[in-house]
Structure 1
Amino acid sequence: MEGKIAISETTNLLQRIKDFTQSVVEDLAEGRSPKISISQFRNYCMNPEADCSDKPKGQEILTLKKEPQTYRIDMLLRVLLIVQQLLQENRHASKRDIYYMHPSAFKAQSIVDRAIGDICILFQCSRYNLNVVSVGNGLVMGWLKFREAGRKFDCLNSLNTAYPVPVLVEEVEDIVSLAEYILVVEKETVFQRLANDMFCKTNRCIVITGRGYPDVSTRRFLRLLMEKLHLPVHCLVDCDPYGFEILATYRFGSMQMAYDIESLRAPDMKWLGAFPSDSEVYSVPKQCLLPLTEEDKKRTEAMLLRCYLKREMPQWRLELETMLKRGVKFEIEALSVHSLSFLSEIYIPSKIRRELSSP
């Protein structure tokens, strides 16, 4: 049944692409400049008093009257032709693949990225609907097994072995889990520390890392697990502005892909740590604390202005203010100063217990 629905959606999208290109050709044939309306989205603004919804924040009209817009329309149509071929042939390609199909015309990867975004907005769809996939960087381990495009991923058979996050998330099925929660960690080094400590053997959970800033596949996979398993999700990042940016991307989505925010964000994610106050609570030595750079301070001040912090997560905003006031940051690995397994045996379990006992 799901396969028939997917085929129907693809057929419908192909028809809409055909209708769109036909209208552009008709405008050109009759000597008119096509007018292409691109809705503008954002997942936050820099006014703490504002309330940014997921609805469009305006329209941008592209015509052939201005040279930059002419080039943008040209690139949009080139990429749309490639997308049409992918859909017709039931093939997938990455953004990088598409760039290398016409590198002299596209000039830069950012041109392709923008064209794909424009197409998603125009046709009110997600990137995966276009058969454009991201190159996955994420890893997963723990109390989970599933299938992706016929391939079996049995993490349950080897709880502390890292498996790649699936790229074709829409083809993931038969998800089975005995986990009690999902833990997302910022860095691969922390993920490997937990694997080495056999964390999932003593803690019934699923552990995921995007290995830094999370790619689309990792974020979509996390969202899928949340929808299917209905488990609490906790996030562990460094106590610095970059770590908080990663946390915010998981929780609220990114500005770059604000048009597809619903399929990419983890709205119920909880911030497990590391908090500025953790340096005192867990006795992190001063030599493990690093001073905030001027760039760190500017980035933190800018993040404090984001409307969603005041509206939805005022306690997160207070933690950011505390970090800025103290003027120091630290990495999660700094907790290893006590013992190599302090993170997996003391820090994370105590944090999880505190979350479970809080109202």
Structure 2
Amino acid sequence: MEGKRSNTRPLTLLRKIKGFTRSIVEDLARGRPPLIYIERFRNYCTDTSGNCSCSSGLSTGKEAISLKRECHARRLDVMLRVLLIVQQLLQENRHGSKRDIYYMHPTVFKEQSVVDRAINDICILLQCSRHNLNVVSVGNGHTPFQSLLKKLMAMAVTVTPLMLEQDIISVAQYVIVVEKESVFQRLANDQFCKRNRCIVITGRGYPDVPTRRFLRLLIDKLHLPVYGLVDCDPYGFDILTTYKFGSLQMAYDATFLRVSEIQWLGVFVQDCDNYSIPQQCLLPLTAEDKRKIEAMLPRCYLQREVPQWRFELELLLHKGVKFEIEALSVHSLTFLSHEYLPSKIHNGGYI
């Protein structure tokens, strides 16, 4: 899949769209139902034996879509409607959000997930990434690269405004990815980047595609260590694995989005003891938390690539408590930026 994406210019994609729709029209004109094959990808399975062959860049087979099945006919109808919108965006060199596309045919699409699935199918069919289709995550009127600039706290990085892909110059020594906006603001208020010559990025929870692309670009260009700081709960852990291994929904694009270099900086279960976090700052795991942990534990990459991460997840389930990064503020507002992070980074307190 990786080698097939060398040419994703608008004109190339428009030719592919034209060829795809022509083949459907020709099939219908000859009285035969169109049969469309969509490759399927996965970046993990639940085989903990270590014998799985999951790979983010390799297809795991093809799914056949035919008009003979009603659910497939509806799926093709949605795909063609979205493809028509994508074609218009490419022809006019404009950008639209996934939400914009949904509201163009809300009674047909019914829900956003239907549009998201169609966009993923189109990316696979055209052998491109979503940003090549001029489809962005949010409808703020900015291009994907402009959206990325709004997400970056660049106290130690200079990015050329015309083309982010060209030049990035930095005196930073490392990159920290934080889970939440509140932690990002805490570090900004403490001038953490200026004091420590680093770059801090947040995806505000589960990261969108522009955030992941930009992080991937930074690491490719600057070759810096990158650390992840997330809450000590199953959702923080899942967010961290999305950065490192990619999401299952976009497994076809994981090679271009995942940052396998990222190391887990915290917060860890044992940090509540190591940093004397009082009991009132700890919260019991809910039944939903436990179900989520149990669902994540069998992921093959935890066994194969980061067994220490899997151990931490098991420990979280065993302890039965969770806590947020902000719980460190029980000592002082600046404890995170002045004590916890510098100590962790300089003493190798990451996995």
Q: Same fold (TM over 0.5)?
A: yes
**Superposition deviation, residue 92 in structure 1:** 1.2
1:23 aligns with 2:36: no
Contact 1:51–1:311 (CA under 8 A) maintained in structure 2: no
Partners of 2:306 and 2:42 in 1: how far apart?
Answer: 18
Which position in structure 2 is the counterpart of 1:234? Answer: 227
Partner SS, residue 160 of structure 2: strand
**Superposition deviation, residue 350 in structure 1:** 0.5
Partners of 1:32 and 1:111 in 2: how far apart?
Answer: 26
Contact 1:146–1:172 (CA under 8 A) maintained in structure 2: no
Partners of 1:179 and 1:125 in 2: how far apart?
Answer: 32
1:125 aligns with 2:138: no
**Superposition deviation, residue 7 in structure 1:** 8.9
In the TM superposition, what whole-angstrom CA distance separates every residue of 1:155-204 from its partner, at most 9, and x where no partner exists?
xxxxxxxxxxxxxxx75543221100000000111111111111112101
**Superposition deviation, residue 9 in structure 1:** 2.5
Contact 2:8–2:132 (CA under 8 A) maintained in structure 1: no
Contact 2:8–2:128 (CA under 8 A) maintained in structure 1: no
Work out which of the residue numbers 73, 77, 82 in structure 1 matches 2:76.
73
Which position in structure 1 is the counterpart of 2:67? Answer: 64
Partners of 2:288 and 2:104 in 1: how far apart?
Answer: 38
Contact 1:232–1:269 (CA under 8 A) maintained in structure 2: yes
Partners of 2:314 and 2:60 in 1: how far apart?
Answer: 29
**Superposition deviation, residue 93 in structure 1:** 1.0
Output the amino acid matched with 1:336: S
Partner SS, residue 276 of structure 1: coil
**Superposition deviation, residue 8 in structure 1:** 7.4
Work out which of the residue numbers 290, 293, 299 in structure 1 matches 2:283.
290
Work out which of the residue numbers 52, 55, 59 in structure 2 matches 1:53.
55
Q: Give matches, 1:74-93, under 5 Å.
A: 74-93=77-96
Q: Give matches, 1:146-225, under 5 Å.
A: 146-148=159-161, 150=162, 171-225=164-218
**Superposition deviation, residue 83 in structure 1:** 1.1
Which position in structure 2 is the counterpart of 1:156? Answer: none
Partners of 2:25 and 2:348 in 1: how far apart?
Answer: 58
Which position in structure 1 is the counterpart of 2:142? Answer: none
Which position in structure 1 is the counterpart of 2:330? Answer: 337
Output the amino acid matched with 2:132: N
1:266 aligns with 2:259: yes
Which position in structure 1 is the counterpart of 2:102? Answer: 99
Which position in structure 2 is the counterpart of 1:254? Answer: 247
Structure 2: gaps spanning 5 or more residues: 139-146
Partner SS, residue 200 of structure 2: strand
Partner SS, residue 214 of structure 2: helix
Output the amino acid matched with 1:47: D
**Superposition deviation, residue 101 in structure 1:** 1.7
Which position in structure 2 is the counterpart of 1:108? Answer: 111
Which position in structure 2 is the counterpart of 1:153? Answer: none
Partners of 1:16 and 1:74 in 2: how far apart?
Answer: 18
Give the length in aligned residue pairs: 334
Which position in structure 1 is the counterpart of 2:157? Answer: 144
Partners of 1:134 and 1:145 in 2: how far apart?
Answer: 25
In the TM superposition, what whole-angstrom CA distance separates every residue of 1:206-249 from its partner, at most 9, and x where no partner exists?
00001111111111110010111110000000000010010000
What RMSD, in angstroms, separates the aligned Cα atoms of the two structures?
1.9
Partner SS, residue 202 of structure 1: helix
Which position in structure 2 is the counterpart of 1:165? Answer: none
Partners of 2:127 and 2:166 in 1: how far apart?
Answer: 25
Which position in structure 2 is the counterpart of 1:161? Answer: none
Contact 1:238–1:274 (CA under 8 A) maintained in structure 2: yes
**Superposition deviation, residue 147 in structure 1:** 3.1
Partners of 2:104 and 2:88 in 1: how far apart?
Answer: 13
In the TM superposition, what whole-angstrom CA distance separates every residue of 1:310-342 from its partner, at most 9, and x where no partner exists?
000000011111111111111111111111110
Partners of 1:255 and 1:195 in 2: how far apart?
Answer: 32
Partner SS, residue 41 of structure 2: coil
Partners of 1:217 and 1:7 in 2: how far apart?
Answer: 20
Output the amino acid matched with 1:279: C
Partners of 2:39 and 2:165 in 1: how far apart?
Answer: 31
Partner SS, residue 293 of structure 2: helix
Partner SS, residue 100 of structure 1: helix
Q: Which one is further off, 74-83 or 177-186?
A: 74-83
**Superposition deviation, residue 6 in structure 1:** 9.9
Partner SS, residue 239 of structure 1: coil
Partners of 1:350 and 1:205 in 2: how far apart?
Answer: 15
Partners of 1:122 and 1:180 in 2: how far apart?
Answer: 40
Partners of 1:6 and 1:89 in 2: how far apart?
Answer: 23
Contact 1:75–1:112 (CA under 8 A) maintained in structure 2: yes
1:313 aligns with 2:313: no
Instruction: Give the TM-score normalised by the residue count of structure 1.
Output: 0.89
